[in-house]
A and B are shown apart, each in its own frame.
Chain A
Amino acid sequence: EILMTQSPGTLSVSPGERATLSCRASQSISINLAWYQQKPGQPPRLLIYRASTRATGVPARFSGSGSGTDFTLSINGLQSEDFAVYYCQQYSNWPPYTFGQGTKVEIK
């Protein structure tokens, strides 16, 4: 099973600033990585797939990068609606599909 580790656990950022979230896989997953956003009381929403491709309707301020074992989600110019929990997920070697434990982006 591939273990996904996200850091930091919580990220405090001021509105308008940039947030950088990390995700590391326990073995190479090529670019088979997705990012999700989850707001309180809501289901997750797919943001990024293939490590760097934005899903339909996702604003351009969200960008993903990386390959192999190390990945990054960047959010430029944080807006109020971006404060949420973000999860990475690998789909390279499954079952099982595995998620990271999440990074909470909170208002500084």
Chain B
Amino acid sequence: EVKLVESGGALVQSGGSLRLSCIVSGFTLSSYEMSWVRQSPGKGLEWIAYINSGGETTFYADSVKGRFTVSRDNARRSLYLQMNSLRVEDTAVYYCARVGFAVAGTFDLWGQGTLVPVSS
């Protein structure tokens, strides 16, 4: 079965750090670009990070630049999001998402998400 499974979400205090993981199955991770997208409670979708297939190129939304780092380990079939200096406004469900192979830029596969509440 083709799927993404996120983990690592937990309640964290403002200023704290957390590392999210996303393990993939059913496809070869090294063939795909990946992203993280988040959704604040009751709100819309916000793209926050991108990493190319080899891990050499990353991009970030301004809202997380300098605080979050995306990385990957293709051998372990895993994607990561290191989140530092967390703020209350980072409270959200965090999804890992596969960038479409045929149509780069679309997100054709999503995990179920992991919740990160940030308390003040």
Which A residues contact B (CB, under 8 angstroms)? 32, 34, 36, 38, 42-46, 49-50, 53, 55, 87, 89, 91-92, 94-102
Contacts and interface: CB of A to CB of B under 8 A. Distances in A.
Interface of B: 35, 44-47, 50, 59-62, 95, 100, 103-108, 110-113
Q: Is the interface of A mostly helix, strand, loop or mixed?
A: loop
B59 A99 contact: no
A94 B47 CA distance: 11
Given A95-B59, A97-B105, 6 more contacts: A46-B100, A50-B103, A55-B108, A94-B59, A96-B62, A98-B47
Q: Is the interface of B mostly helix, strand, loop or mixed?
A: strand
Nearest to A101: B44
A44 to B, nearest CB: 6
Contacts of A50: 103
The 9 closest A-B pairs by CB, nearest first: A91-B105, A43-B110, A95-B59, A97-B47, A99-B45, A34-B106, A49-B106, A49-B103, A101-B44
B111 A91 contact: no
A94 B14 CA distance: 29
A102 B110 CA distance: 18
A43 B113 contact: yes
A45 B106 contact: no
